[in-house]
Amino acid sequence: MLVPRQEVIALVEMKTRRAQLHLNVLEREIATWLGLPPYTVTFEDDFDRALQIWRIALQIAPEAIPMSIGDFVCCLRSALDQLAWGLAHLDLKRSFTEREERNISFLIFNERNSTYEDRRLLFPPAVADVFDSLQPYHGGHAYRDNPLWQLNELWTLDKHRGVPINCNSLHVRFPMQGWENYVRHFYDGIEVHFPLLRAWTSPADLKPSISMEVLFGEYMGAFEVSLIRLREINDFVRNGVIPRKGVST
């Protein structure tokens, strides 16, 4: 069935508007959370192990933050799939099997494999050529920098386990040379295990300086995105990809 141009555009624009709304909510919630502040700092002397232990841990984020980023990602990603559905049905003479219709989606691949070749055949040749030009695989090993790949990765995270705030969001520095050698990483932050003799004889106050940039991604993983990057992804999809692949009858 051919999806009329007006209906496709209306659905896509509705989804992108909703994505923008969720992104606006996310920005407000993050600003409020950062003002608390969103972390705790504690220390204790462990005489049995001859350590002074500092712990800097993220507070649990308000549920509005993971819910808002999940809603933003879902709306923006589904806008692309709805656009892909309309593009696949441009040819009035073409019919699809049930299996083919299940496979119609906006193509985002980090390698040009047999699955990609099969899926691109679901679209008119001119549309498939544009899909080719947008693919993350053009970046080689740097495909992770592609905004479409990042959107798709966030979407996958949210579907299966939510989009966590990465503990790398915390930027901590102690006024002691070589303090990084004593760091221990945990799910929600870090501990710094100073030898007691060094901690007590240091002429500097050991109180850390802390700053924070909220980063979303896998715990201790290589993938993370900032709020600024979320804005860039949103702008790329709304003002770059969707107009470029606009649907016509």
Does any domain span residue 185? no
Q: Is the pLDDT of residue 129 over 90?
A: yes
Written as one string, the DSSP assignment of 200-211 is HH-SS--PPEEE
Q: Is the pLDDT of residue 2 over 50?
A: no
DSSP 51: E
Per-residue pLDDT tens over the stretch 141-169: 999 999 999 999 999 999 888 788 886 78
Say how far apart CA 170 and CA 188 lie, in whole Å: 10
Does any domain span residue 171? yes
Does any domain span residue 68? yes
Does any domain span residue 149? yes
Instruction: Give yes or no for a contact between 94 and 127, defined as CB atoms under 8 angstroms apart.
Output: no
Q: Is the pLDDT of residue 4 over 60?
A: no
Per-residue pLDDT tens over the stretch 208-218: 999 998 999 87
Cα four-point dihedral sign 176, 178, 180, 182: negative
Does any domain span residue 42? no
Burial environment of residue 132 by CB neighbours within 10 A (0 to 12, 13 to 18, 19 or more)? middle
Query: What is the residue range of 172's domain?
Result: 5-36+60-178+208-244
Region 223-236: mean pLDDT is: 96
Say how far apart CA 246 and CA 8 lie, in whole Å: 9
Mean of pLDDT over the chain: 90
Per-residue pLDDT tens over the stretch 169-209: 889 999 988 999 999 988 888 999 999 887 777 766 788 99
Does any domain span residue 72? yes
| Residue type, position 206, single letter | L
Q: Which residues are paired to 170 by β-bridges?
A: 212
Classify 50 in phi/psi space as left (phi over 0), alpha (psi -120 to 50) or beta.
left
Nearest to 219 by CA among 181, 180, 162: 162
* Phi, psi for 7 (deg, rounded to 5): -70, -40
Does any domain span residue 189? no
When comparing pLDDT for 80 and 170, which is higher?
80
| Model pLDDT, residue 222 | 77
* Phi, psi for 170 (deg, rounded to 5): -85, 130
177 CB-near residues (< 8 Å, 6+ apart): none
| Model pLDDT, residue 203 | 63
Instruction: Give yes or no for a contact between 80 and 241, defined as CB atoms under 8 angstroms apart.
Output: yes
Residue 43 C-beta-side C-alpha neighbours within 13 Å: 16
- How many CB atoms are located within 10 Å of the residue 173 CB? 11
Taking the model in full, what pTM does it have? Answer: 0.87
Give how many domains the chain has, as a whole number. 1
